[in-house]
Amino acid sequence: MTNTIARSHLPTPHGGVLINRVQKFDGDLSTLPKIELSERNFADLELIATGVYSPLTGFMGEKDYLNVVENMRLDSGLPWSVPITLGVSQEVADQLSGLVVLTHGGEAVGTLNITEKYAARKEWEAGHVYKTTEEAHPGVAALYAQGDINLAGEVTLFELNRGQFANHHYTPAETREIFETRGWKTVVAFQTRNPIHRAHEYLHKVALELVDGLFLNPLVGATKSDDVPADTRMEAYEKLLEHYYPKTRVLLGVYPAAMRYAGPREAILHAISRRNYGCTHFIVGRDHAGVGSYYGTYDAQEIFGAYNPEELGLTILKFEHTFYCQTCGQMVSPRTCPHDSKHHLILSGTRVRGMLRAGENLPREFTRPEVAEILRAAYNAQE
């Protein structure tokens, strides 16, 4: 089951075809064994089924798993950086074979046709993918919480649930159609799990000088408990786009993945996903998909050197840290500003949260006042 992409200026999907595994099940589900999916597994199911993770048609088998962890490639040689697996306990695995029902919140959401079972090498995987085996890392903790046996096989998703952001929840087939309808031959994607501040806006608008359209694609799946909730972020994005962006050149669409915090490896996965959405360019800034101090500031940019540019099928736009310089009177980066740090307005996430809790105004040079008000209201509601 694939969607063949018509002749287009947009990049072909990763692997050549856009996967579509969304399909109703006509048989009797009651007689089939069931597997309850975690939030991450459920997100992965949708991303596989709608083609965001093309060319994957299901959870990875052992050959793909081993090659991805060690070599950042599928067994076919195609670039891929993060294992997409479904882990269960040995006891559960022993009871399963063939077709099983996938459930989420107790509801049947899809099927998995089990063709392989194999042992997860969790510590080895953590060391390669996350560059640490410490359970303090949220991605490593989630990995260790999975079962010890990975189940592999093709999946189906019964129905796409667009959730609370239905007006902004698009499949890759839909975004490609929108880009084509708008006449965008070049599209830059931006990944974020945080509210957009002026530094992000600067990156967007520099990129928009180079391409036809911006696909603002915030991650809205599971994140750390101290990350800003998705509904607050989406409200901020909508307000910002309403007042400060050219409406005909921006599309806001959610990325329903769970956050893995895999830093450089996750940056590659994010780029591949955006190629499948139809994007020709992808912005990678400082510490993309990072957490704590596990990764170097620009590791997520340097890792793309592991592939030839044509292998990934889109252009990576690498930006340095940007900030407001009070002497220059504008957003700058180390490449464009001659002044030292005492001239720069840079607020840490901790400082921003402290100001919001105290009811203080965030500087206009840091974030737009409309966004600051949305964030302040959200923090006050939590108190």
- The pLDDT profile of the chain, 383 residues, written as one tens digit per residue, is 555 445 678 999 999 999 999 999 988 999 999 999 999 999 999 999 999 999 999 999 999 999 999 999 999 999 999 999 999 999 999 999 999 999 999 999 999 999 999 999 999 999 999 999 999 999 999 999 999 999 999 999 999 999 999 999 999 999 999 999 999 999 999 998 888 889 999 999 999 999 999 999 999 998 887 778 899 999 999 999 999 999 999 999 999 999 999 999 999 999 999 999 999 999 999 999 999 999 999 999 999 999 998 999 999 999 999 999 999 999 999 999 999 999 999 987 778 878 887 888 899 999 999 999 999 888 877 76
For this structure, is 71 an active site residue?
no
Domains parsed from the chain with CATH numbers? 2-157 (3.10.400.10), 167-382 (3.40.50.620)
Marked catalytic residue, from 21, 40, 176, 193: 193
What's 60's DSSP letter?
-
CA-nearest of 142, 135, 168 to 254 is 168
Q: Which amino acid is at 135?
A: E
Given the residues 73, 162, 194, 249, select the one marked as catalytic: 194
- The rounded distance, in Å, linking the Cα atoms of 76 and 315 is 22
H or E element in which residue 35 lies: strand 34-36
Tokens of 174: 């839909």
Q: Output the pTM of the full model.
A: 0.94
Q: Is 40 a catalytic residue?
A: no
Identify whether the C-beta of residue 195 lies closer than 8 Å to the C-beta of residue 368. Answer: no
